[in-house]
Amino acid sequence: MKEIATLKNIESPANMLEQFQAEVNEGLSDTNKSLPSKYFYNKKGDDLFVKIMHLPEYYVTRSEHEIFKEKSYSIIKSLNLDPDQYFELIELGAGDGTKTKELLSQLVAGNYSFDYLPIDISQNALDQLELDLSVTMPQVSVKTKQGDYFEVLESLKENQHPKIILFLGSNIGNMSDDIASNFINNLSQTLAFGDKLFLGVDLIKPASVVLPAYNDNQGVTAAFNLNLLERINTELEADFAIYDFKHQPEYDEKEGIATSFLVSKKNQEVFIKKLNRTFNFSKGEKILTEISRKYNDEILKKIITNTAFVIKDKITDSKKYFANYILERV
Ligand SMILES: C[S@@+](CC[C@H](N)C(=O)[O-])C[C@H]1O[C@@H](n2cnc3c(N)ncnc32)[C@H](O)[C@@H]1O
């Protein structure tokens, strides 16, 4: 019998707005201006990201989807799942759940006993996912949780059930290595012996493949990036002239780090009413909006050193563009 439950929300809309305000203020006050990438995801941002996932240049989703489509049996085997043992399948930053649905359908077919708990900062993404699953996979018990995944870790301790954490789409790549290491360590501390983290990471590859993925011909990624300013205009009553900024992706091939910026096309002032503050932008000044770190075994091993995880397995797509690592809590 399908059960849909919404667990206690971590962040009320009022808290989220306050936090948005504080983080925008902090990021734009810095000498090197930045804005947190988690704010890309409002209704318009969610829709644009779904478009990005289908772009010919955006190999990231296609590569990981291939793993889920072609190798879901290997995934279940690597996770060491037992159909008679109930577990919680928890997904951090679930988005539209396209890839996860491949795994869910295999689990349903195999009569596994589990609840699916997608966590996302976007209530809109969760509502759409819940509706979608209620139609396409009514057998799956779905319990959504809205909030910042940095803040939901404590709630994972609420029960002793075995847990599988999905962290897909190279979402971890939006964190610096230090923050990722800390996050994975905190996550490992909230889990119990034998629990697993199924971690999807984009692998290091040449700029000729990476850069177009963040700079598509149709300008969808540019619109996605600029939507951050539109969101500040709407929610914080600012007067950003969107056409006076441009999207600029960069990739440091040696380090394996892609970055996205919004660049001011001229000297200008922007007033943010909710902050009662004016911010100055000089011509060519950049706002860092996203980092997308790429990985290899060495980098991942370094990140999980000093955490309670060990690498149990690794599954890649046919082009070796993407890897899903199975980390086990020891
Ligand atoms: C790049 S999309 C990836 C979606 C999905 N994991 C995939 O692989 O296709 C990132 C998702 O994570 C969510 N997200 C981003 N930052 C978050 C945060 N700090 N806490 C919770 N969710 C977050 C976004 O709302 C969005 O749905």
pLDDT digits (tens, 9 = 90+) for 184-237: 999 999 999 999 999 999 999 999 999 999 999 999 999 999 999 999 999 999
Strands (E), 168-256: 196-202, 245-252
- Ligand 1 contact, 93 CB (< 6 A): yes
Domains of the chain, residue spans: 32-42+208-293, 59-205+296-329
- Ligand 1 contact, 49 CB (< 6 A): yes
- Ligand 1 contact, 68 CB (< 6 A): no
Mean per-residue pLDDT, 169-176: 97
Q: The pTM is what?
A: 0.95
Mean per-residue pLDDT, 134-147: 96
Ligand 1 atom closest to the CA of 169, numbered from 1: 8
Ligand 1 atom closest to the CA of 98, numbered from 1: 9
Exposed / middle / buried, residue 238 (Cβ in 10 Å: 0-12, 13-18, 19+) = buried
Please provide the DSSP assignment of 156-188 as one string.
GGG----EEEEE-TTGGGGS-HHHHHHHHHHHH
Helix 43-53 vs helix 123-136: crossing angle, to nearest 10: 60
Fold of the CATH domain 59-205+296-329: Rossmann fold (3.40.50)
Torsion of CA 26, 27, 31, 32, to 10 degrees: 160
pLDDT at 80 over 60: yes
Distance 23 CA to ligand 1 centre (A): 18
